[in-house]
A and B are shown apart, each in its own frame.
Chain A
Amino acid sequence: MPIASRDRFALLVQREIGRLLGPLWIPAGAAILRWRYGWQIVNASAARREFSRLRRESQAPLLVCANHLTMVDSFLIAIALGSPWWYIRHFSTLPWNTPERENFSRTWWLRLATYVMKCIPVERGGDRREVGRTLERFSYVLRQGDVGLIFPEGGRSRSGRIDPDAATYGVGRVVKSLPGCRVLCIYLRGEGQVGYTDAPARGERFRVLFASLEPKTEHAGMRGSLAITRQILARLTALEANWFDARQ
C-alpha cells in the first residue's frame, strides 16, 4: 500500500537532516560507545565484509534482523556492520529502525537523537492502523534503497535466548511487501550477557555471527507473514546455537 505524500516528504526531510548532521553524530555516537562505555565488538570485520558484499551485489531491499537483549542493540549492530567513516560516505547503509516510542520519547534530546538516527518510532500494542502505517513507512525507506533493522521477537528476549514463540508478523509483513528482499540475520551478544538488560555491562566485549537468506513463502496474508518471520527466527536460533557452541 503506498504511503501518503506527506509521510514520504517527512521521511525525506528526516533522512536529509540525519545525513547532513552525520559527520557530527555518527563519530560521536561511536566514540561514546567505545570510550565512555568501553563496548567493543571483537570480530566485526567479517560481518562488515558480508554487509558490504550484500549492498554491492544487488539493489534489492536489504533488511537486517537481529536478536534483542539490550536497549542499545541497534547502535551496537550498526557498529558491527560498518565504520563511522563508511556510514558518513554511504548514509543509506546506516539502518533505519523502529524503537518502542515510549522508551525514546521521555526527553527532548532523546526524541531529537532518534529523529536524526533514522528511527521510526512504533507504539507496540497500540492502534493497529498506526502500527500498520509505521510498517508501511518502514517498507518505503527500504524500497528507496536504504537498509532497515528490525527485531523479529518484537522486544527484548525475556529468557535471554531467542524465543521462536515470540514471532511477530510485522517483520514478515515488511519482507513480503518487498519483492526480492534479502535478510541479513545478526546474532550479537556480549560475552558476559546472561539475560536481557537495559544496557550491557561497562567494558563488555561482543561477538557477532551472521547469515543471509531470502525468505520465501507460498502463503498469502498473515499466514505468509508469520511463515517468513519463523524462517528468520529459525536462522537466528541456529546462529545462537553456534554462538554458545563456540563459547564452550
Chain B
Amino acid sequence: MTEKEAFETVVKILTPHTKNPAALASAKLDTNILDDLKVNSARLVDVVLAFEDAFDIEIADEEVDSVNTIGDCVRLILAKAS
C-alpha cells in the first residue's frame, strides 16, 4: 500500500465525521483532525475502528494518543500494515 492510497482512505473514513468539509477538501498530511477538521473527540474511537476494519490492523489505546494529524494516521497505518 502506498502513502497516497492510505491518505485517500483515511480522508474517506474521516468524511462523515468532519464538521469542516472545506478543510477536508484541501486536507494535507499536516491537517489536524480535531482542530482543523473539527471531528468530535468522542467520535475518534469510531474513526480508529474504521481504520482497523479498512486496513485489517489492530491499534492499541496508547498508539491513538500520538495521532493528531492525518499524517500521523497514515504513518501509523503504513507501519502497522507492513
Contacts and interface: CB of A to CB of B under 8 A. Distances in A.
A118 interface: no
Contact of A226 (B45, B65, B68): B45
Contact of A132 (B52, B58, B62): B62
A40 interface: no
Contact of A221 (B52, B65, B66): B52
Interface residues of A, number: 24
Contacts of B1: none
B48 to A, nearest CB: 5
A83 interface: no
Contact of B60 (A124, A125, A221): A221
A220 interface: yes
B49 to A, nearest CB: 6
Contacts of A13: none
A128 B64 contact: yes
A235 B59 CA distance: 27
A173 B60 CA distance: 10
Contacts of B41: 124-126, 131
B34 interface: yes
Interface string B37-73: 0001110110011001000001111101111100000
Given A128-B65, A128-B66, A221 B42 contact: no
Given A125-B34, A154-B42, A222 B65 contact: no
A221 B58 contact: yes
A222 B67 contact: no
A42 interface: no
A1 B66 CA distance: 14
Given A168-B45, A169-B45, A221-B58, A131 B65 contact: yes
Interface string A196-226: 0000000000000000000000001111011
A102 interface: no
A120 B44 CA distance: 22
Nearest to A124: B41
B42 to A, nearest CB: 5
Interface string A65-85: 000000000000000000000
Contacts of A1: 62
Interface string A208-248: 00000000000011110110000000000000000000000
Closest 3 CB pairs of A and B: A132-B65, A125-B41, A169-B45
Given A166-B42, A169-B45, 14 more contacts: A1-B62, A125-B34, A127-B68, A128-B67, A128-B68, A129-B66, A132-B61, A168-B45, A221-B58, A221-B61, A222-B48, A222-B59, A222-B60, A223-B52
